[in-house]
Chain A
Amino acid sequence: MLAKPEAYTNNVLLIDDNDIDNFINERMVRGCRFADVVYVNSSTRSAIEFLRNMASNPNISVKEFPAVIFLDINMPILDGFQFLEELEKYDADFVNNLKVVMLTSSINPEDEEKARKSRLVADFLHKPLTEESLKELTKHLVA
């Protein structure tokens, strides 16, 4: 559904420290057929490790990389913003194709403002993830 350039996939990576939310988001993403491949990480640390391992493994094709990351903000140790900074520093092809969608319970406008400043952030959504917000997001990402 998001297919555009050859190397482009619509694989999704969910990063949230709350497993209930990961459960909801995974089922919603699959149920709405937003993506077929859904990776889930319950900490930013493990997500970084996951991406690093992927990038350093020559047997993994570009098509297997996540294209959209749903990223929570309030997380322990490394929060969503710090994760973004790490990701921006990470010089790899797949990073340039990445689209990060912030997904949070925060309604602090400062959070949204801060997120929109990052070149990787494509959208800012409030929890919970719904069928409607995924439809809107699809339009937005394809456009």
Chain B
Amino acid sequence: MIRSKLLKEHSVLVQLLESLGHSVIVSDIHGLIIYWNKQSESDFGFTSDEAIGKTIDLITVERNDGTTYAEVWESLLQQTTITTEVPRKRKDGTVIWVELRITLLRDNLNEPLYIIEVSRDVTEDIMKKNKLLVLEALLASMQEGVLISEEAVKGGNEIILVNNAFKSLSGISDKDFNSGYRNIFQKLFPEWSWTGANTNTVSQYEVKREVKGTTRWFGLTTVPIADNKGKVTHRMFILHDNSHLRTKEDQLQTQNRELRSANMELDRMVYGVSHDLRAPLNSIIGLTNLMKKEDYGKEAAPYIDRISQSAERLNEFISNIIQYSKNNRKVPFVQTIDFGELFNISADLHRYTEAGQRIAFQYVNKERITIESDKDRWQIVFNNLIGNSIKFSRNIPNSYVKVMVTRNESAVLISVEDNGTGIPKDRLDFVFDMYYRADNIRSGSGLGLFIVRKTVEAIGGEISVESQVNSMTKFTISIPFKAKGTYGKESN
């Protein structure tokens, strides 16, 4: 009603208000809305008819800062015009931010007549501003130094943002940051070629610097920031202190080098030992070959055969050690292990030696236990343990070496027992250690039980020893039913 009256009386003025890009709301002194322009309809979602006659509460969001309508009214009476930013509620419940100008219109007698609110939706601007605030807080909390510069406009390369981390990492004083980013980087990275920063791709650069007597590594990443037409408008420089990483890396590399050289050393040693062991052995084999060829009669033949067999087996065993050394880290070949077969092969290797002839070889596997494991590795273990039993046997009538396969609730147990010289108590702890030195490599001793232990570990087991001097020695290998990997699994 009032609107139509207004429209009639001030048609030109009202048409102007209707076409304005700002919301214009007029209320009377009772706070009732009497005019609501087109832009108000689109800004707040209420039609003119819905809004007129209501109070401004229609779109008011309760303010957290406790400002009351009365207070606004009070200050309006004094100042006539207030400019502020406030949130407004739309019809669909969403909240927008508006930049608001409230004017009090008085009549001729200076009595308040109308309240005019002119407002503009500034939600997007506010959001941008908030984002920027978050960004700044983020940059301030970062350990990496960040510097953002505006790309050379009119020859300038203005720094528009630099965080504290950048300042403290670079150690460049505050006033130098006024002189443009090129100066900064020339100070920090004098040998840096600028081609990296002039491209339109992310580039990285690293430099080593002595800072207060310690070596530090700085990494610089430059990130071009382009507008929607692809033109680079800004550049972001991220400065990181890589020293920690670099030190770790250096350490790793050194360790790696040492490990590799130790490995090579071991290889050389093993081949050296192997050569020195095999050379006389091959002579024996060569001689027995000749004896067979040159025919020394039927009586000699069985002896020649046995010398030759024993030598061949020893030769094979030496090859096993070499293979063990070389294949230590190779994938094992898993198959069903027949402990009896392993025992016989090892026993045959020693049966014809002088000591071997005095000894009773016993094998006990009542439950016929077998496992799935790496046969070659087991052979190495058997050869070594049975070989030791014979080597350290005493010259007594009932010498024996006994291999037993049993099981307890969690593991298969394989023991090799003898009644030989035994191991003194104070050496028991060390028998599995590798205690040779480079200068007595040629003696070739000290490797056997070390190899046994490493081999047992490789097939997922553990080895222990008990012994009494001049009485007995018993090595026990335990393979848990659930040994790691595929090996050590019980097959039946």
A130 to B290 Cα, complex, angstroms: 9
| Residues from 269 to 314 in B contacting A, C-beta threshold 8 Å | 271, 274-275, 278-279, 282-283, 285-287, 289-290, 293-294
A106-B271, A107-B271 known; A28 vs B279 contact (CB < 8 Å): no
Which of A17-25, A39-47, A49-57, A80-88 faces chain B?
A: A17-25
Question: Please, how many angstroms separate the alpha-carbon atoms of A18 and B276 in the complex?
Answer: 12
B283 near A128 with CB under 8 A, answer yes
Report which of A18, A31, A74 forms a contact with B293, defined as CB distance below 8 A: A31
A107 near B287 with CB under 8 A, answer no
Least distance between B273 CB and chain A CB atoms (Å): 11
Contacts of B322 in A (CB 8 A): 107
- Measured CB to CB, the nearest residue on chain A to B290 is A27
| CA of A28 to CA of B285, assembled, Å | 12
With contacts A105-B278, A106-B275, A127-B279 taken as known, whether A24 is within 8 angstroms of B293 at the C-beta atoms is no
Residues of B within 8 A of A24 (CB): 283, 286-287, 289-290
A20 touches B294 (CB 8 A): no
**How far in angstroms is the closest Cβ of chain A from B328?**
16
* Distance of A11 Cα from B275 Cα, bound (Å): 28
Between A21, A74, A128, A129, the greatest number of chain B beta carbons within 10 A of the residue's beta carbon is seen for A128
Q: How distant is B28 from chain A, measured CB to nearest CB, in Å?
A: 104
By a CB distance below 8 angstroms, the chain A residues around B285 are: 128
A31 to B286, CA, bound (A): 13
Does A131 count as interface, using CB distance less than 8 angstroms?
yes
| Bound-state Cα–Cα, A74 to B278, Å | 12
A residues less than 8 Å from B275 (CB atoms): 74, 104-108
Q: Does B319 contact A (CB under 8 A)?
A: yes
- A131 to B: closest C-beta gap in Å: 7
Q: How far is the CB of A128 from chain B (nearest CB, A)?
A: 3
A18 to B287, CA, bound (A): 13
Give A54 to B319 CA distance when docked, in angstroms. Answer: 40
**Given A74-B275, A107-B271, also A127-B282 (CB < 8 A):** yes
Q: Tell whether A128 pairs with B286 under 8 Å between CB atoms, given A18-B279, A107-B322.
A: yes
A132 → B minimal CB distance (Å): 10
A104: chain B residues at CB < 8 Å are: 275
CB distance from B278 to the nearest CB of A (A): 4
Q: Which of A106-143 contact B (CB under 8 A)?
A: 106-108, 126-131
- Whether A28 contacts B290 by the Cβ 8 Å rule is yes
CB-nearest residue of chain A to B288:
A128
Minimal Cβ-Cβ distance residue in B for A19: B283
* Distance between Cα atoms of A18 and B293 in the complex (Å): 22
Q: Compute how far the CA of A28 lies from the CA of B294 in the bound complex, rounded to whole angstroms.
A: 10
Please give me the residue from chain A that is nearest to B287 by CB atom. Answer: A24
Q: Write out the residue numbers on chain A whose beta carbons fall within 8 Å of the beta carbon of B287.
A: 20, 24
- Chain A residues within 8 Å of B271, by CB: 106-108
Interface residues of B in 230-283 (CB under 8 A from A): 271, 274-275, 278-279, 282-283
Give min CB distance, A137 to chain B, whole Å.
Answer: 15
Q: How far is the CA of A105 from the CA of B319 in the complex (A)?
A: 11
User: CA–CA, A28 to B283, complex, Å?
Assistant: 12
Among candidates A28, A106, A107, residue contacting B286 with C-beta atoms closer than 8 Å? A28
Contact B286 A129 (CB under 8 A): yes
Q: When chains A and B are docked, how far (Å) is the Cα of A104 from the Cα of B274? A: 12
User: Which residues of chain B have C-beta atoms less than 8 A from A105's C-beta?
Assistant: 275, 278-279, 282
Partner of A28, one of B278, B282, B289, B319: B289
Known A106-B271, A106-B275, A107-B319: A31·B282 in contact at CB below 8 Å: no
A129–B274 Cα distance when bound, in Å, is 18
Q: In the docked arrangement, what's the CA distance between A47 and B290, Å?
A: 25
Contact assessment for B283 and A21 in the assembled complex, using a CB-CB cutoff below 8 Å: yes
Residues of B within 8 A of A131 (CB): 289, 293
| A130 / chain B contacts, CB cutoff of 8 Å | 286, 289
Q: In the complex, which residue of chain B has the Cβ closest to the Cβ of A131? A: B293
Name which residue of chain A comes closest to B277, CB basis: A105
Q: Which residues of A contact B274 (CB under 8 A)?
A: 106-107
Q: Which residues of A contact B319 (CB under 8 A)?
A: 107
Q: Whole-angstrom distance between the alpha carbons of A27 and B274 in the complex?
A: 26
Q: How far is the CB of B62 from chain A (nearest CB, A)?
A: 86
For A20, list chain B residues within 8 Å (CB). 283, 286-287
Query: Which of A24, A31, A74, A105: most chain B Cβ within 10 A?
Result: A105
Given contacts A105-B275, A105-B278, A107-B274, contact A127 B286 (CB under 8 A): yes
A28–B293 CA distance with the chains assembled, in angstroms: 9
By beta carbon, the residue of chain A nearest B292 is A131
| Chain B residue at minimal CB-CB distance from A32 | B293
A residues within 8 A CB of B290?
24, 27-28, 31
In the complex the two chains form, what is the Cα distance from A129 to B275 in whole Å? 16
A126 to B285, CA, bound (A): 12
Docked complex Cα distance between A28 and B282 (Å): 14
Q: Are A128 and B279 interface neighbours, CB within 8 A?
A: no
Q: Which residue of A lies closest to B323 (CB)?
A: A107
In the bound complex, what is the Cα–Cα distance between A26 and B230 (angstroms)? 85
Residues of B within 8 A of A126 (CB): 282
The distance in angstroms between the C-alpha atoms of A123 and B290, with both chains bound, is 22
A12 to B158, CA, bound (A): 86
A106 neighbours in B (Cβ, 8 Å)? 271, 274-275
Shortest Cβ distance from A21 into B: residue: B283
Of all chain A residues, the one with the shortest Cβ separation from B268 is: A108
21 cross-chain CB contacts under 8 A = A18-B279, A18-B283, A21-B282, A24-B287, A27-B294, A28-B289, A31-B290, A31-B294, A74-B279, A104-B275, A105-B275, A105-B279, A106-B271, A106-B275, A107-B278, A108-B271, A108-B275, A127-B279, A128-B282, A129-B286, A130-B286
Chain B residues at the A interface, C-beta cutoff of 8 Å? 271, 274-275, 278-279, 282-283, 285-287, 289-290, 293-294, 319, 322
The 3 A-B pairs with the shortest beta carbon distances in the complex, nearest first, are A128-B286, A24-B286, A127-B282
